[in-house]
Amino acid sequence: MQVNFLSYVQLTSLALPSLTDSKGSLVVVSSLLGHVPTSFSSPYSAAKFALDGFFGSLRRELDVQDVNVAITMCILGLRDRASTAEEVRGVARAKAAPGPKAALAVIRGGATRAPGVFYPRRLHLLGLLRGWLPHPKAWFIRQELNVTAAATA
> Active-site residue numbers?
44
What single string gives the DSSP state of each residue in 109-141?
A: HHHTT-SEEEESTTHHHHHHHHHH-SS--HHHH
Cα angle for residues 43, 120, 3 (degrees, 5° grid): 30
Q: How far apart are CA 58 and CA 52, in angstroms?
A: 10
Q: Are 106 and 29 in contact (CB under 8 A)?
A: yes
